[in-house]
Structure 1
Amino acid sequence: MAAEAYPWQAELWQQLARRERHAHAYLLHGPAGIGKRVLAERLLAYLLCRSPANLDACGQCKACQLLAAGTHPDVFVLEPEEADKAIRVDQVRDLVAFVAQTAQLGGRKLVLIEPVEAMNLNAANALLKSLEEPSGDTVLLLISHQPSRLLPTVKSRCVQLVCPLPDQATALAWLARALPDLDEATRGELLALAAGSPLTALRLQEQGVMEQRAQVVDGVKKLLKQQQTPSQLAEAWNAVPLPLLFDWFCQWAHLILRYQLARDEEGLGAADMRKVIQYLAEKSAQAKVLALQDWLLEQRQKVLAKANLNRVLLLEALLVQWASLPGQG
């Protein structure tokens, strides 16, 4: 069966499905949470289908049935063996061997790689030959959330497809169907937290992020009023994922700097922190905010790279600096 289609992909899908000749490699890129995997799976099903109808896979032929059962012999999916780990060169060598084989059903062979940026340098170089000279009728579908991290030689061998971020009205309409029990304002806040990516917004809701955000915002306000200490908050936020905390604090530091430079009250971010952002922008030396932002970005990179960090000490260091922003020096 063809994968679920998202309304904001309709135009791109029409362009793809109507192509008379398909490229041997496509790079689908855009922010996380906009449905790139679904689009790639839909294209994969369409290219394997023996009797596509109405610009989609039929869902009935032998190829579609094998795909639905997860047993199609001419499909190879390459992704990290563990979440957030690298794609290893050995995995890519298995892919290269698959590409060299003849299609067992006599049609196309399809390869799906996600995320491409998870390949280390050796793995990326091993992939290049398959991208340059794919064997037989093979189509490679590469998915990237961060195309800036890819080798130029990988990007240049693919047809690059920019996957669209839906406009706010489309995203909110989709979220209203996906989360009918939430009120409109909450859905809007979720979408803002997800930087406009509706699937990310849905995932954040499932993870209870709104409750975590409220806890963190309340803690930041109490910290600035000296009603709670950095060490108390570092312990209290034990359940909040570190990447989420650093995303929020990086964003808040950026908003403080932006308000210091532009004095734009429309650019203060989500409603829950606007007064705090404005207060810190007016009371903090710009040099201190810049120094904190540099530190935050450096620590965020370590968090994303899964460095072995002492969580409580890291958060205490963050909160001590945050509490010292207002005032001189």
Structure 2
Amino acid sequence: MVEAYPWQASLWQQWAGRAQHAHAYLLHGPAGIGKRALAERLMARLLCQQPALDACGRCKACLLLAAGTHPGRFLLQPDEPDKAIRVDQVRELVDFVSQTAQLGGHKVVLIEPAEAMNVNASNALLKSLEEPAGSTVLLLVSHQPSRLLPTLKSRCVQQACPLPSKAHSEQWLASALPEVAADERAELLVLAAGSPLVALRLYGEGVREQRTRVVEGVKKLLKQQQGPSQLADSWSDVPLLLLFDWFCEWAQAILRYQLTEDESGLGLNDMRKVLQYLAQKSPQPRVLHAQDWILQQRQKVLAKANLNRPLLLEALLIHWAGLPGPARPPSSSKEAS
């Protein structure tokens, strides 16, 4: 059985109580809140021959689904993590949709993450979304719905999936990581932006140890004890998106402190003094310029662009090391010419 997360209870009651379902749903929300599990739970119920609140788990359809051999199930996802969903994969889906359900009842397609489809793949899916054959239901799961084509989104019933409350997240993570201290779990949730499943994954990936190395490296960089190139090489095992998430968050915290002088907005304790120092010593236009650059590069990372990691990190650290210092006087018209 698919895990039923407590923060999805009210949404599931609405779905399970429907006599009829739309032909396509777009489940969207932050990563790590259980959207995939919710889609699989709905898939199981739609395919079940004797559904109640959930799939029965005992009928022929449920047993085939559990074995991964149900002929009415189609999963569309990248062949490799962080790769695109190809147009020929979508064509296989279109062929599946056109076929008659072998066991009768529904056929269900699950696409995750939907934003992994490129433009050609998305366009190839449009007709199946608009006029799916028979009783086919398509479930699209997206962590970044802004990257989807408007024409694709307009053909789906869009369902926002809520971020769990702090209480739900803390309770669930405590049951998943009972051996971890409460303050460490709280720190993981902050690093995961409140998403408990991301927090669990980050724990397994050793993110707290990675964060400690990155913070120590930033401090050495600002003290000129380590250069950008050497430091970039030492972070070779830290995920690129994670690094850009942190530096983006830190740039925002510096700007926020420059405007409000509110220390509570400086984030976790490990970087508070560093960020406060940078806020006091860095001209705001320079911080804004660095933030803009970081956001642009982060978008490239999200888009899976072919980036030179060492050079990109070295450029990031050069921007960061250049933040503190007196504001440069504006160039005279003579110099500018």
TM-score, scaled relative to structure 1: 0.96
Moved more, 154-163 or 40-49: 154-163
Counterpart for residue 104 of structure 2 = 106
**Secondary structure of the equivalent of 2:158?**
strand
Counterpart for residue 162 of structure 1 = 160
Query: Which amino acid in the other structure matches residue 16 of structure 1?
Result: W
Instruction: Using the aligned pairs only, state the percent identity.
Output: 74
Counterpart for residue 17 of structure 2 = 18
Counterpart for residue 134 of structure 2 = 136
Moved more, 197-206 or 224-233: 224-233
Unaligned runs of 5+ in 1: none
- Could you give the per-residue CA deviations for residues 67-118 of structure 1, whole angstroms, max 9, x where no partner exists? 0000000111111122112212211111111111110001111111111111
Query: Which amino acid in the other structure matches residue 28 of structure 2?
Result: H
**Secondary structure of the equivalent of 2:126?**
helix
4+ runs deviating over 4 angstroms: none
Counterpart for residue 59 of structure 1 = 57
Moved more, 94-103 or 261-270: 261-270
Counterpart for residue 189 of structure 1 = 187
Deviation at 1:125, TM superposition (A): 1.5
Unaligned runs of 5+ in 2: 329-337
Counterparts of 1:214 and 1:196, CA distance in 2: 20
Deviation at 1:311, TM superposition (A): 2.5
Counterpart for residue 39 of structure 1 = 38
Q: How many residues were matched structurally?
A: 327
Return the match for 1:281 from 253, 257, 279: 279
Moved more, 188-197 or 215-224: 215-224
- Could you give the per-residue CA deviations for residues 224-247 of structure 1, whole angstroms, max 9, x where no partner exists? 122222223122222212211111
Moved more, 232-241 or 104-113: 232-241
Counterparts of 1:311 and 1:116, CA distance in 2: 26
Counterpart for residue 178 of structure 2 = 180
**Secondary structure of the equivalent of 2:140?**
strand
Query: Which amino acid in the other structure matches residue 8 of structure 2?
Result: Q
- Could you give the per-residue CA deviations for residues 172-225 of structure 1, whole angstroms, max 9, x where no partner exists? 110001111110111011000011111000000000010000011111112212
Deviation at 1:43, TM superposition (A): 0.4
Counterparts of 1:127 and 1:308, CA distance in 2: 26
Return the match for 1:254 from 252, 259, 267: 252
Counterpart for residue 301 of structure 2 = 303
Counterparts of 1:309 and 1:86, CA distance in 2: 16
Counterparts of 1:28 and 1:310, CA distance in 2: 33
Q: 1:305 and 1:27, CA in 2 relative to 1: closer, same or farther beyond 3 A?
A: closer
Matched, 1:229 2:227: yes
Query: Which amino acid in the other structure matches residue 197 of structure 1?
Result: S
- Could you give the per-residue CA deviations for residues 140-165 of structure 1, whole angstroms, max 9, x where no partner exists? 11111111111222212211111110
**Secondary structure of the equivalent of 2:108?**
strand
Counterparts of 1:317 and 1:149, CA distance in 2: 27
Counterparts of 2:71 and 2:239, CA distance in 1: 39
TM-score, scaled relative to structure 2: 0.94
Counterpart for residue 115 of structure 1 = 113
RMSD: 1.2
Counterparts of 2:156 and 2:36, CA distance in 1: 17
Counterparts of 1:99 and 1:232, CA distance in 2: 53
Deviation at 1:280, TM superposition (A): 0.6
